[in-house]
């Protein structure tokens, strides 16, 4: 019973036991392995890694299993684990221009150096349930392959920048801030904003980005480029004094090309939005680039129209789903004391009003 | 999945009737956005669900369907939608503009002139031309109702004041039959003149926003402008590198990372026809 | 003084009043917004409505201007029944023959649009389609309200409060309306800015022969602008008359209080 707080311990133990039972489901059905989740629920694993901000597919798969498939719960598990890890230092910035791309599409140019690479995408599938998948065991025929082109894959924004058609991105050597180590301070630098967005909830960013497309802080976005692939991570080790490769991670990067600004005296230029997400997460990367662009209104001399996606404080304060779910769900916790106070107040006011009415 | 699992052209007959009623209303009131009960489709919103529903409601087994995206028959989304109807309707498909009875398009009007009896179906992302001046649907519907279009011209005025010209290059708003201001979907303004006085039926479907609108054959369609800053359709000042056309809309292709560029027709059927020396629009199979 | 009275008499010879209200009543539940208000406004005449806040003067103004519907009463504009008109006709009137100057210029301007665009909007709303002409009118009107022509492409968000208010006036008057509603046009401005604005308004009203209904709690505004006055208290009209008459020889106790409280300041 909920009210019987003293009996809580026993209740909680029983609830946990019940939860474990529910997680396992019907024991006559074989149990999922972590490896199965990692290999066959890859996009869920990627999302948990991205929003958990920890690159570890096995742990993310474990978290999904433990969370019964509730991805926000799984992110929570990863975040809670991540916070216990020692921190050795920062990697060098990854060079996404040297990404080994699995997918690379540009909506702004029909063809371009490095080519359009469709990659393993849902985009042109018809969303028709494939009942063949319900039958077990069949391994799909191998996809056709082509030798990897060793052609460079330059960024589209770089090509536009060469002609001065897009705002220049000034290099900045300021060490990146760390949201997990220091509290969020507003106004935030763009780097800090991007970091918050990269950890932010995909659904929240999706809705915000969508709202900009529908006129609430519109930025006229084109997908300049979306690329997914492996990049090498390098770190400088203090003992060595130079950077060495420490591994590879998969990233999704989106650069949007947005409405131009300019005047009769200042030649017009396109502007940029940027999204970068760990793993394969293109919906999130696209959303992030639109929201990033909308948040830059002040720096680009645009008007604040009151759109939610332009409001840095609103966006950054609400994008973290672990914060959000925690605070939201806490209202399930007892609030007897506060509520009691309210209850007394309302009763007193009612009594006064009724007495006045009677007089 | 097999064809037998679904009705002809995917949608059930009741849904098609509902869509046809909306289409008739749209044709009766040119340029007016008719709300319709848009269905969930097996492709994502924003990928042509409106156009696909309109096409599904128009197709008969005897139709010949052409699907283009950005003017080309071979772009991925065009291929995807064409395959969808091949599978679910089994209709004949074609790349020929003149040979098609129904053409579904995203972002272009074919270069070859259309003729009576043809249907051109546009995929529309945001049907409301006033949306970016006024985000609230309740207010924009009222503006249409009362013909309050002054704000639209304020936007054009601001463009000229700031940029010296009207800075809208695609989805350039038009006024239909002197009554409704309409979004022609994101076609380049180069294509705007083809909207007017067109012998074909032009249907516009917006799935996510659940709106259908239409231009009956030979409608009067005027691109908004000022008398002293008249509407001008524009294109890249080049000839097509493949067929040499100087009057078609061109795609720009970057050919290396040193800034080299090539221009070619965005309408692949038009370009192929010219290269093969056939009359325009009687190209590919 | 006598000349002014004769002038008014001349105006009243016009055949129909420009605006004629009778029995205008608006309730908010049990509370009265305004009750049984009636008056005739003749072409070229300026009517001041004064009273403290809550007296019903703003409710009355928004009823007259078609922004809210009275529960009872009749409003005739140029002989036509405003309340019986379809919404489209009323809106057409509102953007051609009528003008409405809000107390807060932000309510009457488009802050994200240049000064020129703000002034030009009404012209375009009634069909102007020549950019050069629209721009010339905008420059002309900016000049008339003492805003430098080079500010034409600036947005009003960068203007001072007084400039914003003058821009709002230009935006309203550019289509040559016959009837202007003003709601506390000098409210929220510094005293020195108020004086300049009043001076400007007086010049425009005289030069253009405008008819106007001005709601204010500031007697200095009506003394300068209004031909006739209506004093309101608790939603009802307690006294009407020629402005100088009402202010110099108030009859109703409430008007006496209103006038004396100003004189003491």
Q: For the ranges A328-337, B86-95, B221-230, C46-55, which has the lowest average pLDDT?
A: A328-337
Q: Distance between CA atoms of C104 and A336, rounded to whole angstroms?
A: 46
Q: Which of chain A's residues have a Cβ under 8 Å away from the Cβ of B131? A: 214-215
Please judge whether B135 and A214 are an interchain contact, meaning their C-beta atoms are less than 8 angstroms apart: yes
CA atoms within 13 A on the CB side of A238: 3
Cα separations in angstroms, A263 against A43, A167, B272: 44, 14, 41
Number of H helices, E strands in chain A: 12, 4
What residues make up the domain containing A337?
329-358
- Residue C118: CB partners within 8 Å, gap ≥ 6? C109, C110, C156, C167, C171
Instruction: Decide if C157 and A305 are in contact by the 8 Å CB cutoff.
Output: no
Tell me which of B257, B258, B267 to substitute to probe the interface with A (most A C-beta atoms closer than 10 Å): B257
pLDDT the model gives residue C1 = 43
Q: What are the catalytic residues of B?
A: 31, 240, 243, 265, 271
The topology under which CATH files domain B13-223 is Rossmann fold (3.40.50)
Domain boundaries, chain B: 13-223, 235-276
Query: What ipTM does this complex have?
Result: 0.84
**Residues A184 and A265 grouped into a single domain:** yes
- B152: Cβ–Cβ under 8 A, 6 or more apart, which residues? B129, B130, B133, B173, B181, B224
pLDDT in tens, B230-277: 998 888 889 999 999 999 999 888 888 888 888 999 999 999 999 998
- Label the pairing between strands B102-106 and B64-69: parallel
Task: State the average pLDDT over residues B25-52.
Answer: 91
| Cβ proximity of C35 and C233 under 8 Å | no
Cβ contact, residue pair B226, C130, below 8 Å: yes
Q: Dihedral (C-alpha) A310, A314, A315, A320: value to the nearest 10 degrees?
A: 180
HSE, side-chain direction, 13 A CA sphere, residue C86: 4
Q: What residues contact A81, with CB distance under 8 A and at least 6 apart?
A: A54, A59, A63
Query: How far is the CA of B206 from the CAs of A22, A125, B37, B46, in angstroms?
Result: 43, 20, 11, 8
Whole-angstrom distance, CA of residue B196 vs CA of residue A233: 57
Task: Provide the 10 A C-beta neighbour count for residue A147.
Answer: 5
For A123, residues 6+ apart whose C-beta sits below 8 A from its C-beta are B47, B76, B77, B80
Report d(CA C160, CA C105) in Å as an integer: 11
The SS3 call for residue B68 is strand
In chain A, beta strands by DSSP E: 100-105, 222-236, 243-261, 269-278
From chain A, the residues in CB contact with C111 under 8 A are: 303
Q: Is the peptide bond before B145 cis (omega within 30 degrees of 0)?
A: no
| A249 located within any domain | yes
Name subunits touching B (3+ CB pairs < 8 A): A, C
As beta bridge partners, residue A251 has A229, A278
A104, A76: one domain: no
Residue B41 pLDDT grade (very low, low, confident, very high; cuts 50, 70, 90): confident
Report which of C171, C178, C156, C140 is spatially closest to residue C16, judged by C-alpha positions: C178
Sheet of C80-81: strand order equals C31-41, C19-28, C72-77, C80-81
Q: Is the same domain home to A110 and A50?
A: no
Residue of chain A whose Cα is closest to the Cα of B134: A215
> Which pLDDT score, from 0 to 100, does residue A264 have?
67
Report CB contact under 8 Å: B229, C131: yes
Spell out which residues of chain B touch residue A162, defining contact as CB-CB under 8 Å: 259
Please tell me the predicted confidence (pLDDT) of residue B231: 95
Q: Does pLDDT of B2 surpass 70?
A: no
A190 and A337 share one domain: no
Residue C72 has pLDDT above 60, yes or no: yes
Give B144's contacts (C-beta < 8 A, 6+ positions apart). B32, B33, B130, B180, B181
Q: How many domains does chain A have?
A: 3
**What local confidence, expressed as pLDDT, does residue A2 receive?**
38
Assess whether A236 and A259 both reside in one domain: yes
The end-to-end CA distance of chain A, in Å, is 44
Judged by a CB distance cut-off of 8 A, whether residue C157 touches chain A is yes
Is B189 in contact with B169 (CB distance < 8 Å)? yes
- Least trusted range by pLDDT, from A207-216, A345-354, B16-25, C13-22: A345-354
Residues in contact with A336: Cβ distance below 8 Å, sequence separation at least 6, in sequence order:
none
- What is the maximum alpha-carbon separation in chain C? 56
Q: What is the mean pLDDT of residues A307-320?
A: 93
pTM score over 0.90: no
Compute the average pLDDT of residues C232-247. Answer: 94
Query: Are residue A114 and residue A60 in the same domain, yes or no?
Result: no
Q: Are residues A155 and A275 in the same domain?
A: yes
What average pLDDT does this structure show over B143-161?
Answer: 92
Whether A127 maps to a domain, the answer reads: no
Strands C72-77 and C228-233: unpaired
pLDDT, average across residues C71-87: 93
Q: Which of B203, B275, B268 is nearest to B20 (CA)?
A: B203
The C-alpha torsion from B171 through B20 and B217 to B177, rounded to 10°, is: -60
Same domain, A274 and A334: no
Q: What is the pLDDT of residues A140-168, one digit of tens each?
A: 888 888 877 777 789 999 889 888 899 88
Local confidence band at B1 (pLDDT 50, 70, 90 cut-offs): very low
DSSP string computed for A26-48: -TTSPPPPHHHHHHHSHHHHHHH
- What's the CA gap between C32 and C39, in Å, rounded? 19
Long-range contacts of A300-308 (CB under 8 A, 24+ apart): A300/A261, A300/A271, A301/A261, A302/A261, A303/C111, A303/C112, A303/C155, A303/C157, A305/A216, A305/A217, A305/C112, A307/A211, A307/A212, A307/A216, A307/A217, A308/A208, A308/A211, A308/A216, A308/A217
| C:97-116 residues touching chain A, CB 8 A cutoff | 111-112
pLDDT at residue C4, as a whole number: 52
A151 and A290 together in one domain: yes
Q: Does C257 score more than 60 pLDDT?
A: yes
Which chain A residues are within 8 Å of B41, Cβ to Cβ?
127
> Whole-angstrom Cα distance, residue C35 to residue C17?
21
At CA A260, angle to CA A259 and CA A261, rounded to 5?
125
Do residues A279 and A304 share a domain?
A: yes
> Which member of B145, B150, B228 has the closest CB to residue C124?
B150
How close A263 gets to chain C, by Cα (Å)?
A: 11
* Mean of per-residue pLDDT scores for chain A: 88
Determine the pLDDT at residue A337: 64
Does A289 score more than 90 pLDDT?
Answer: yes
Strand partners, B203: B121, B214
pLDDT at B185 over 50: yes
Average pLDDT over residues B66-80: 90
Q: For A258-271, what is each residue's pLDDT tens digit?
A: 977 766 667 888 99
Q: What is the mean pLDDT of chain B?
A: 91
Which pLDDT belongs to residue A145?
A: 84
CB of C88 within 8 Å of a chain B CB? The answer is yes
Assess if residue A138 is contained within a domain. Answer: no
CA angle B60, A124, A157 (to 5 degrees): 130
Tell me the β-bridge partners of A269: A261
Residue C197 CA to residue C42 CA, distance in Å, equals: 24
Instruction: Give me the phi and psi of C149, to 5 degrees please.
Output: -60, -30
Residue B272: its H or E element: helix B268-275
Choice between B236 and A321, residue whose per-residue pLDDT is larger = A321
N residues, chain B? 285
Interface test with A, best of B6, B129, B135, B168 (most A CBs within 10 A): B135
| pLDDT given for residue A13 in this prediction | 86
- Rounded Cα distance, A143 and C206, in Å: 84
How many other CB atoms are there within 10 angstroms of residue B141's CB atom?
14
Q: What is the dihedral of CA B52, B58, B64, B66, to 10 degrees?
A: -30
Cβ atoms within 10 A of the Cβ of C24, count?
23
Residues A182 and A255 in one domain: yes
Which stretch of A94-98, B11-15, B40-44 has the lowest confidence by average pLDDT? B40-44
Please indicate whether, in this complex, the C-beta atoms of A109 and B41 are within 8 angstroms of each other: no
- Say whether pLDDT at C104 is over 50: yes
What is the separation, in whole angstroms, between the first and last Cα of chain B?
27
Query: Following DSSP, what letter does each residue of A114-146 receive, concatenated?
Result: T--B--S-STTS-----GGGGS--PPPPPPP--
Nearest alpha-carbon partner for C21 in C7, C39, C34: C39
* Average predicted confidence (pLDDT) for chain C: 89
């Amino acid at each position: 019973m909920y009210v019987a707080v003293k009996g809580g311990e026993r209740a909680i133990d029983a609830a946990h036991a019940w939860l474990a039972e529910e997680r396992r489901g019907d024991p006559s059905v074989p149990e999922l392995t972590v490896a199965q989740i990692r290999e066959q629920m890859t996009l869920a694993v990627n999302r948990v890694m991205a929003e958990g901000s920890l690159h570890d597919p096995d742990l993310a798969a474990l978290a999904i299993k433990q969370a019964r498939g509730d991805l926000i719960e799984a992110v929570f598990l990863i975040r809670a684990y991540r916070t216990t890890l020692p921190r050795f230092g920062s990697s060098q910035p990854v060079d996404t221009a040297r990404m080994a791309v699995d997918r690379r599409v540009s909506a702004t140019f029909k063809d371009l150096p490095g080519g359009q690479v469709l990659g393993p995408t849902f985009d042109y599938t018809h969303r028709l349930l494939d009942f063949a998948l319900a039958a077990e065991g069949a391994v799909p025929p191998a996809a056709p392959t082509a030798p990897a082109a060793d052609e460079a894959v330059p960024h589209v924004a770089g090509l536009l920048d060469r002609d001065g058609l897009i705002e220049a991105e000034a290099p900045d050597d300021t060490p990146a801030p760390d949201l997990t180590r220091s509290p969020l301070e507003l106004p935030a630098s763009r780097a800090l904003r991007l970091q918050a967005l990269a950890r932010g909830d995909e659904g929240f960013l999706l809705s915000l980005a969508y709202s900009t497309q529908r006129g609430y802080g519109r930025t006229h976005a084109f997908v300049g480029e979306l690329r997914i692939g492996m990049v090498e991570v390098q770190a400088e080790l203090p003992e060595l004094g130079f950077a060495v490769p420490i591994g590879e991670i998969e990233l999704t990067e989106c650069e949007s090309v947005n409405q131009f600004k300019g005047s009769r005296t200042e030649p017009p230029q396109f502007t940029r939005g940027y999204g970068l997400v760990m793993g394969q997460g293109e919906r999130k990367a696209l959303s992030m680039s639109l929201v990033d662009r909308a948040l830059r209104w002040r720096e680009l001399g645009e008007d604040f129209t009151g759109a939610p996606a332009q409001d840095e404080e609103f966006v950054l304060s609400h994008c973290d789903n672990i914060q959000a779910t925690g605070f939201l769900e806490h209202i399930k916790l007892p609030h007897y004391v506060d509520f009691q106070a309210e209850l007394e107040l309302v009763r007193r006011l009612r009594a006064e009003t009724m007495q006045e009415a009677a007089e | 999945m097999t064809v037998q699992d679904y009705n002809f052209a995917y949608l059930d007959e009741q849904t098609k009737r509902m869509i046809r009623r909306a289409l008739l209303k749209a044709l009766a009131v040119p340029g007016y956005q008719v709300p319709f009960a848009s269905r969930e489709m097996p492709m994502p919103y924003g990928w042509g669900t409106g156009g696909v529903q309109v096409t599904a409601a128009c197709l008969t087994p005897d139709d010949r369907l052409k699907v283009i995206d950005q003017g080309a028959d071979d772009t991925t989304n065009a291929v995807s939608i064409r395959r969808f109807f091949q599978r679910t309707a089994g209709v004949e498909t074609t790349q020929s503009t003149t040979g098609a009875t129904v053409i579904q398009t995203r972002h272009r009007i074919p270069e070859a002139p259309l003729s009576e009896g043809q249907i051109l179906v546009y995929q529309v992302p945001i049907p409301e031309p006033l949306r970016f001046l006024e985000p609230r649907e309740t207010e924009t519907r009222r503006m249409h109702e009362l013909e309050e279009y002054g704000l639209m011209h304020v936007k054009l005025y601001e463009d000229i004041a700031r940029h010296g010209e009207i800075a809208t290059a695609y989805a350039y708003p038009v006024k239909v039959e002197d009554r409704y201001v309409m979004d022609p979907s994101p076609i380049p303004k180069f294509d705007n003149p083809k909207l007017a006085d067109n012998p074909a039926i032009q249907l516009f479907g917006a799935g996510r926003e659940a709106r259908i609108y239409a231009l009956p054959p030979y409608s009067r369609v005027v691109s908004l402008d000022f008398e002293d800053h008249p509407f001008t359709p524009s294109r890249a000042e080049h000839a097509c590198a493949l067929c040499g056309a100087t009057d078609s809309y061109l795609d720009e292709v970057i050919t290396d990372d040193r800034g080299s560029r090539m221009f070619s027709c965005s309408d692949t059927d038009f370009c192929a026809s010219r290269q093969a020396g056939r009359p325009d629009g009687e190209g590919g199979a | 003084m006598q000349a002014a009275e004769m002038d008014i008499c001349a105006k009243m010879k016009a055949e129909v009043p420009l605006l004629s209200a009778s029995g205008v009543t608006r309730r908010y539940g049990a509370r009265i917004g305004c009750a049984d208000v009636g008056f005739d406004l003749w072409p070229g005449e300026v009517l001041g409505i004064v009273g403290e806040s809550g007296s019903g003067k703003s409710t009355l103004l928004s009823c007259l201007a078609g922004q809210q519907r009275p529960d009872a009463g009749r409003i005739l504009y140029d002989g036509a029944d405003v309340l019986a008109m379809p919404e489209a006709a009323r809106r057409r009137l509102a953007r051609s023959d009528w003008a409405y100057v809000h107390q807060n210029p932000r309510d009457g301007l488009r802050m994200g649009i240049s000064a020129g665009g703000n002034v030009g909007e009404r012209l375009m709303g009634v069909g102007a389609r020549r950019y050069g002409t629209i721009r010339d009118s905008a420059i002309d009107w900016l000049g008339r309200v003492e805003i430098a022509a080079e500010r034409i492409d600036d947005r009003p968000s960068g203007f001072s409060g007084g400039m914003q208010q003058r821009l709002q006036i230009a935006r309203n008057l550019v289509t040559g309306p016959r009837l202007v509603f003003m709601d506390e046009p000098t409210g929220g401005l510094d005293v020195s800015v108020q004086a300049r604005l009043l001076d400007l308004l007086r010049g425009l009203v005289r030069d253009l022969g405008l008819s106007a209904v001005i709601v204010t709690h500031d007697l200095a505004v009506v003394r300068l602008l209004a031909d006739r006055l209506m004093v309101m208290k608790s939603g009802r009209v307690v006294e009407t008359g020629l402005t100088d008459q009402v202010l110099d020889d108030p009859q109703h106790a409430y008007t006496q209080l209103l006038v004396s409280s100003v004189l003491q300041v």
